[in-house]
Chain A
Amino acid sequence: MSATTLTLRRFNAVDVILWLLRIGVLLIVVIGTLATLIKARYTIAQWLDFVMFGLTIGSIYAQIALGYTMVYGVLRLINFAHGDIVMTGAFAGYFAAAGFDRSGLLESRPVLAMAGILLVAVLTSTCIAVLTERIAYRPFRRVQGLAPLICAIGVSFFLEQTFRGLFGSSVKSYPDPSWLRAAFVVFGFRIPRVDVLVIGLALVFMALLYMVVQRTRMGTAMRAVAEDAEAAALMGIDVNRVIVFTFMLGGVMAGIAGVFYAFLYKQVYFFMGFTPGIKAFGAAVLGGIGSIPGAMLGGFFLGMVESVGPTLFLDGIGIPAPYQLRDLIAFTLLIMVLIFRPQGILGERMARKRA
């Protein structure tokens, strides 16, 4: 942050505008919130629904964000194609799920079928993540500047269009087994079972990932490379293998996230990964890029803001069709964080290395 503040201090006009921006956004948020709450159009149950929906999509964002944050931590590269790797997982999972559905296994042996679907999805997305690294990113390991990012954009297009070519552009529908359709009722509030399942499993997998990064030798090597790649190499760590391992971990999380996403929203198509990918990157920045707990927190936070925000902030001030502006809220949040707290909620040490 120091360089920026130093630059800005000389120019009060810019400072003033930034402050106005801050105040403006804050005012809209506060006034909108107050106005909405005073109108009291929504019941407590409905507010809880908003929160629940936000947590559900947030858990997906969190898992995708982990892939971004780990790769960025090790390579200082925005893996622009990560969202599309999620898509590849969801696609592979779809074919497995459709097969299990046809054979009746999905209905009769839910756990086995689910494990099978996840396995297929994770294998696919991991392979594609590692291949992507090998073909498109490794040659740029030492190149500064824009080349790696541009290459990443190319890979993203390439993956999307390849899947469109291979499997067609129509929307494919995930099966909807009966055991996912039910809902729990807690204190009179209805909570769809699929939401609970997705959030719960997401937490479990993220905890596992955290253990891997913190407790294993490879995880330790990863953290060492993230800290200082040159030094790590001098210490005898095979940086290339660590990077491949990082992409593998990201790919595993992407595959899981893809399957959960598809079970939640049922639809699979070639462009499905792009928007969640961008949002999840936002979540990673929000939480502090490079920080694993940060990515999780950022994901849940972004999901909440997207779900609750349009109603809470915009309904009260009479803006029509607030959910059309959902992406506006998400991106405004991202930009505000980038401007005012580039190190994110939990990030500290990564702050000025690149941003």
Chain B
Amino acid sequence: MRNTARGLLAGLVTGLAASGVLLGVPPAMAATVGPVTDDIGVVRIAKGAPIQIGGYWVLSGPDTALGLDERRGVEIAMKDAGDSLLGHPLKLVAEDDGCNAEGGQTAATKLAANPQIVIVLGPACSSSNTPAAPILWQAGITDIDTAATAPALTAANRKPEYDGLVRTVFSDADQGKADAAYIFNVLKARRAVAMHDGSPYAQQLAAVFAANFKQLGGEVLSTEAVAPTDVDMHPVLTRIASEKPDVLYLPMFIAATAQILRQAKDTSGLEHTHMFGGSSLAAADFIEAAGPAVVGFQIGYPDLSPEAMGQGYPKFVEEYKKAYGEGPISGFHANAYDAATMAFKAIQAVAKTDDAGNLYIGRKALRDAVFATKFEGIAGPVACDPHGQCSQLKAAVFEFTSADPKTYGIGKNPKKVYPPSH
């Protein structure tokens, strides 16, 4: 025991001495490599070596479909680019972030530690993005977020450590607002109860909805919450029934929402209450979990109909089906595809090749090029505001039409009910 303690003390002394040496070194600094000079660093890619694109999404656990769908979107974008760029092969280095802050931190650190990573795509979850983006930007890496929708990430007052973050996905602020407008104006509902499951995503959306609904003149009777693993929803539903709401807004995850839908059917007092869910419910798993109660259930979701989407979308879906043997499994594949396209365009804009065929990319220049990239993506136009918001929500409402999970497909089941097609 004594030995160990002595050893530890020795270690402490060495460690402190070593850290003194280390701390003086700033992580990213101005550099000139080959033909490129950049304020925060340059990536050199030797002739024939791959251009490494980082990615981090949730690839394990209950939300896997969400992250996997985005990863597939990126993979298809790479395939469409011919798996190469400027004569170099493209390589995706994907990490799993588990959809939580710790996972995002570790994944981002791992990506940032690899000096060959040019740019990073992802993640799917805001709680992972919040600690990860500063780590990447500190290493000079730009992060194009594919599905983390928290308003704070692209707010006007975001901190400078988020300067390297842009996103090709809309903000929850817009989703909640659009849902409130639909429920107030189209459904003509005046009394609403909002509900969440304690996840940052659902809680935020419920809060944004409540604020907007009140602003429109509606009444928010209460905000209820459950735990995501709760199964007995009858009591909380009975409680809600006593408030006699017109609408129950529940932007939660699959298991809990499915329980609520099923149990609302046999809770007296909720017969005339309209249920309205969020975009995380667009999945075959949800239809399976909710059973017959799903028919008629509406969700607020980005408009993926051909006339609202960019022109490339139907072709993308075909490619997706061909590559993975199933249609898109979640909602943000198109945003991820656009993020990858955006990255490729920006790299092409700033990369320089020397006579020997080596490629050089300035990190600051790349970040600025990403912000300046404008194009017609498959999820709609991409153009960034100064705070990194590059995509706007085209809100729509979808309604489930069948309880058979095999019929799942955005546009069929659930089918678009608003805005009316022309």
Contact = CB atoms under 8 A, between A and B. Distances in A.
A50 interface: yes
B225 A46 contact: no
Given A307-B234, A324-B227, A170 B285 contact: yes
Interface in A160-192: 169-173, 176, 183, 190, 192
A190 B255 contact: no
A173 B266 CA distance: 18
Contacts of B235: 50, 53-54, 306-308, 310-311, 323
Contact of B223 (A49, A171, A320): A320
A323 B232 CA distance: 10
Contacts of B288: 170-173
A158 to B, nearest CB: 18
Contacts of B225: 320-321, 323-324
Interface string B210-246: 0000000000001111110111101110110110000
Contacts of A138: none
Contact of B232 (A53, A271, A321): A53
A267 B257 CA distance: 12
A192 B292 CA distance: 17
B262 interface: yes
Given A173-B288, A176-B292, A275 B238 contact: no
Interface in B262-301: 262, 266-269, 285, 288-292
Contacts of A341: none
A324 B198 contact: yes
A327 B224 CA distance: 15
B254 interface: yes
Contacts of B241: 46
Interface in A41-56: 41-43, 45-46, 49-50, 53-54, 56
B289 A173 contact: yes
B258 A267 contact: yes
Nearest to A274: B229
B289 A45 contact: no
B239 A49 contact: no
Nearest to B226: A323
Contacts of A45: 268
A171 B289 contact: yes
B222 A320 contact: yes
B171 interface: no
Nearest to B234: A53
- With most chain A CB atoms within 10 A of its CB, the pick from B198, B225, B234, B267 is B234
A215 B222 CA distance: 54
Interface range on chain B: under 10, 10 to 19, 20 to 34, or 35 or more? 35 or more
Interface in B164-222: 198, 222
Interface in A235-271: 265-267, 269, 271
A181 to B, nearest CB: 8
Nearest to B195: A321
B405 to A, nearest CB: 9
B236 A173 contact: no
B266 A265 contact: no
Contacts of A46: 238, 241-242, 269
Contacts of A57: 232
B62 interface: yes
Nearest to A324: B225
A19 B229 CA distance: 34
A323 B227 CA distance: 8
Contacts of B231: 265, 267, 272
B242 A275 contact: no
A267 B224 contact: no
B220 to A, nearest CB: 12
B61 interface: yes
A271 B229 CA distance: 9
A190 B234 contact: no
Contacts of B222: 320-321
Nearest to B235: A307
B196 to A, nearest CB: 8
Given A57-B232, A173-B289, A327-B227, A311 B259 contact: no
Nearest to B288: A173
Nearest to A47: B238
A192 B223 CA distance: 27
A62 to B, nearest CB: 15
A50 B229 contact: no
A305 B255 CA distance: 24
Given A176-B291, A323-B235, A266 B262 contact: yes
Contacts of A42: 238-239, 242
Contacts of B198: 324
A321 B224 contact: yes
29 contacts: A42-B238, A42-B242, A46-B241, A50-B235, A54-B235, A170-B288, A171-B258, A171-B285, A173-B258, A173-B288, A176-B291, A190-B268, A265-B259, A266-B258, A266-B289, A266-B291, A267-B289, A272-B231, A275-B229, A306-B232, A308-B235, A310-B235, A315-B239, A320-B225, A321-B223, A321-B224, A321-B225, A323-B226, A323-B236
Interface of A: 41-43, 45-46, 49-50, 53-54, 56-57, 169-173, 176, 183, 190, 192, 265-267, 269, 271-272, 275, 306-308, 310-311, 315, 320-324, 326-327
Given A170-B62, A171-B288, A172-B288, 20 more contacts: A42-B239, A46-B238, A49-B234, A49-B267, A50-B238, A53-B238, A54-B235, A57-B232, A170-B285, A170-B288, A171-B285, A171-B289, A173-B258, A265-B232, A265-B259, A266-B289, A271-B229, A310-B235, A315-B239, A326-B230
For the complex of A and B, the 4 pairs showing the least CB-CB separation, nearest first, are A321-B225, A324-B225, A323-B236, A53-B234
